[in-house]
Amino acid sequence: MRLTALLSTAALAATAAAAPALADHHGSSDHDAMQADIVDTAISADDFNTLVAAVQAADLVDALKADGPFTVFAPTDAAFAALPAGTVDTLLEPENKDQLTSVLTYHVVPGEYMAADTAAGTYELDTLQGDSVTVVVSDDGSVTVDGANVVSADVDASNGVIHVIDAVIMPGE
């Protein structure tokens, strides 16, 4: 199935509906004022070079530096490398900016959702892209997002939280 058939071209639109049982720290003010935002945290981690380049190409830097709070499911460079050959290069082309924006905003949920504070269960969370992701928290504490494994959870940022995932998740899959 072609990637373009899997992607919608929805504009960036914040939707705040989420499963109420998932621990949401929306509006918390306990973030250190000197703490890095989501973008700067990703840049400093040095395992998100592809994600940062994609965010820049989609002109989403300012949006992800905004107050938030946001929960970002951040694929590593290895996750992007595991996509079919040419996928990243194609998405980074200027004429595919809408598709790239759709993919990236599918990885962002309004609100701050901490894995450590979330009971085992299955949750549907609305993304900024407009579709929802399925988050499964297992009894053993492991977490998946649309089948991608969360390999590092609850990375705090001044405007939200980052959960590192081992795969790029796609809307419509």
Residue 167 corresponds to which amino acid? A
At 34 the pLDDT is 62
Unique residue bearing structure tokens 């085992």: 120
Where residue 163 falls (left for φ over 0; alpha for ψ -120 to 50; beta otherwise) is beta
C-alpha–C-alpha distance, residues 112 and 24, integer Å: 5
- Write the Ramachandran bin of 60: left for phi over 0, alpha for psi from -120 to 50, otherwise beta: alpha
pTM attached to this predicted model:
0.80
* pLDDT computed for residue 105 by the predictor: 96
pLDDT tens for the chain, residues 1 to 173: 222 222 222 222 222 223 333 444 444 444 445 689 999 999 998 899 999 999 999 999 999 999 989 999 999 999 999 999 999 999 999 999 999 999 999 999 999 999 988 999 999 999 999 999 999 999 998 999 999 999 999 999 999 999 999 999 999 86
Q: Cα separation of 160 and 92, whole Å?
A: 26
